[in-house]
């Protein structure tokens, strides 16, 4: 036993984050869970200074065996353009990570024993190979989008380059008969296939088969066909979520009184609107959604990032004050779990999809980029727990129709029943001897042995 403890105390896991969008936070949540189970292992968390500040400023996130290290982002000209920042960051890799990893090894006196990375950072696989240590990439989205990126070569060979409006289905991939070419993320068949981001994803798809294990925030019974396909292509594919059930999230403040406001409304009557930390609909769509909320008469809670006075119709707040609440931030999981919320108007990012499922709340989806269009198609056509906004853009009439379908009609009730069934399956997955629980044990053993 003593030798085992001594060996664990030499373990040093390098965690390489992708510092854009909402990627770093779920990776940190994963590492936080592993670190709690392996207190003798050191975890060095490598991301940019800006990304690290957003995660480690929360005192509830502090753990003695996790230390953040700032990685240069390559943005010496201080551009604010996201595409340019991404390109500069990718040009700086992997050297920027490698140099800071040397610092961490020198400080701790421990060699790197394992590399956990965002799956986007496929170069981590070569680094792990050079160090002769396991590589465990974490995919922050859903199983279907992961399968698409792994199958990109085959998809391109069968379909060729196409525009983003192609309505043909991908029925040559098991379980994808409802998915259209138009639902695929940009960079697979459409868009600039030579952009740094597209090339990064393509390279990732080719590399993941070499990983010791690929980890995902999901549960096996949510999408068993896609999961089985991925298991056949990867050395290990470990579903260890949903994180909101696997690990208790840090306590959220409710400084704007959202929950108290929800207490005053009828069960399943409120539309909750939230588009995450990255996305904001264009002005004309914000106006159309606001008009729909005002016209429909449904109570609503809107987590709105932006200037309310400038971006929403003049007088909207005053005219809807008796049944609407607009706040700069809301404790989303607590809101979705409240009995009065009847529908979630969302961008259909993977974390939001999982949170909606766990809370048994139907979705109205307005996707914007990345995997969001594919998520919407699966939510609507495969799982039947939500619907896409008509024409995939907000119009007044389309938004009113979607609100009525989910809040008034039998269709919304059926969506909630299906979401309830998924929630029950998720609870089993994270329970004793559940798939996610067993996969998490496998992951912890892999990282600490």
> Of 23, 202, 265, 338, which residue is the catalytic one?
23
Distance of alpha carbon 188 from alpha carbon 423, whole angstroms: 31
Find out if CATH 3.40.50.2000 is the number for domain 258-427.
yes
Q: How confident is the model at residue 432 (pLDDT cuts 50, 70, 90)?
A: very high
Between the alpha carbon of residue 56 and those of residues 21, 26, 28, 139, the distances in Å are 16, 13, 10, 21
Q: Rounded mean pLDDT of 182-205? A: 91
Between the alpha carbon of residue 226 and those of residues 143, 350, 382, the distances in Å are 6, 15, 12
Question: Long-range pairs for 280-289 at CB < 8 Å and ≥24 separation?
Answer: 280/305, 280/306, 281/366, 281/368, 281/394, 283/311, 285/366, 285/393, 285/394, 286/311, 286/312, 286/394, 287/312, 287/313, 288/394, 288/395, 288/396, 288/398, 288/399, 289/345, 289/394, 289/399
Position with higher pLDDT, 191 vs 35: 35
Check if 2-142+192-249+431-448 and 258-427 are the same fold.
yes
Residue by residue, DSSP assigns 276-291 as: TTT----HHHHHHHHH
Of the listed ranges 129-138, 153-162, 283-292, the one predicted with least confidence? 153-162
- pLDDT of res. 190: 86
Of the listed ranges 16-20, 72-76, 344-348, 388-392, the one predicted with least confidence? 72-76
pLDDT in tens, 233-278: 999 999 999 999 988 666 678 999 999 999 999 999 999 999 988 8
Exposed / middle / buried, residue 58 (Cβ in 10 Å: 0-12, 13-18, 19+): exposed
Q: Cβ distance 61 to 32 under 8 Å? A: yes
Q: How confident is the model at residue 2 (pLDDT cuts 50, 70, 90)?
A: very low
Is 23 tagged catalytic?
yes
Q: Which residue has tokens 């940190």? A: 28
Q: Rounded mean pLDDT of 199-208? A: 96
Exposed / middle / buried, residue 190 (Cβ in 10 Å: 0-12, 13-18, 19+): middle
Q: Is the pLDDT of residue 329 over 80?
A: yes
Q: Is the pLDDT of residue 297 over 70?
A: yes
> Of 12, 73, 118, 347, which residue is the catalytic one?
118
Query: In terms of Cα–Cα distance, which of 350, 354, 349, 327 is closest to 272?
Result: 327
Write down the domain spans for the chain.
2-142+192-249+431-448, 258-427
Q: Is the pLDDT of residue 291 over 90?
A: yes
Find out if CATH 3.40.50.2000 is the number for domain 2-142+192-249+431-448.
yes
- pLDDT of res. 411: 94
Residue 63 CB partners (closer than 8 Å, separation 6+):
32, 35, 36
Is 118 tagged catalytic?
yes
Residue 384 CB partners (closer than 8 Å, separation 6+):
414, 415, 418
Of the listed ranges 7-11, 42-46, 318-322, the one predicted with least confidence? 7-11
- pLDDT of res. 145: 97
- pLDDT of res. 136: 98
Q: Which residue has tokens 């982002």? A: 73
Query: In terms of Cα–Cα distance, which of 116, 189, 200, 114 is closest to 155?
Result: 189
- pLDDT of res. 94: 96
């Amino acid at each position: 036993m003593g030798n085992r403890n001594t060996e664990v105390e030499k373990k040093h896991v390098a965690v390489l984050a992708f510092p854009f969008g909402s990627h770093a936070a779920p990776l940190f949540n994963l590492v936080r869970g592993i670190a709690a189970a392996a207190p003798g292992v050191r975890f060095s968390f490598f991301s940019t200074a800006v990304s690290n500040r957003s995660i480690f400023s929360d005192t509830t996130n502090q753990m003695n065996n996790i230390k953040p290290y700032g990685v240069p982002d390559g943005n010496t000209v201080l551009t604010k353009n996201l595409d340019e920042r991404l390109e500069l960051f990718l040009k700086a890799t992997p050297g920027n990570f490698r140099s800071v990893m040397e610092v961490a090894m020198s400080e701790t006196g421990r060699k790197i024993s394992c590399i956990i990375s965002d799956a986007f950072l496929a170069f981590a696989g070569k680094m792990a190979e050079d160090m002769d240590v396991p590589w465990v990439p974490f995919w922050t989205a859903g199983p279907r989008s992961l399968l698409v990126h792994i199958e990109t070569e085959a998809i391109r060979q069968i379909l060729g380059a196409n525009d983003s409006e192609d309505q043909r289905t991908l029925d040559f991939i098991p379980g994808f008969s409802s998915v259209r070419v138009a639902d695929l993320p940009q960079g697979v068949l459409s868009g600039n296939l030579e952009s740094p981001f597209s090339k990064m994803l393509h390279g990732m798809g080719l590399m993941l088969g070499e990983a010791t294990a690929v980890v995902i925030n999901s549960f096996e019974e949510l999408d068993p066909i896609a999961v089985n396909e991925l298991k056949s292509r990867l050395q290990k594919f470990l579903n260890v979520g949903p994180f909101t059930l696997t690990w208790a999230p840090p306590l959220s403040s409710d400084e704007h009184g959202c929950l108290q406001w929800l207490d005053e409304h009828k069960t399943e009557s409120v539309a909750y609107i939230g588009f995450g930390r990255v996305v904001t609909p264009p002005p004309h769509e914000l106006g159309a959604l606001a008009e729909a909320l005002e016209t429909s008469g449904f109570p609503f809670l809107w987590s709105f990032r932006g200037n309310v006075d400038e971006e929403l119709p003049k007088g909207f707040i005053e005219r809807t004050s008796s049944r609407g609440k607009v706040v700069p931030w809301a404790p989303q999981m607590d809101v979705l779990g409240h009995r009065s919320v009847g529908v979630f108007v969302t961008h259909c990012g993977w974390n939001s999809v999982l949170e909606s499922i766990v809370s048994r709340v139907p979705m109205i989806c307005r996707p914007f980029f990345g995997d969001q269009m594919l998520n919407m198609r699966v939510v609507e056509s495969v799982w039947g727990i939500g619907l896409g906004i008509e024409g995939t853009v907000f119009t007044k009439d389309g938004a009113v129709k979607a609100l009525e379908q989910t809040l008034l009609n039998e269709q919304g009730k059926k969506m909630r029943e299906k979401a309830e069934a998924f929630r029950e399956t998720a609870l089993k997955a994270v329970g004793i001897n559940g798939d996610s629980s067993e996969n998490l044990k496998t992951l912890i053993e892999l990282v600490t042995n």
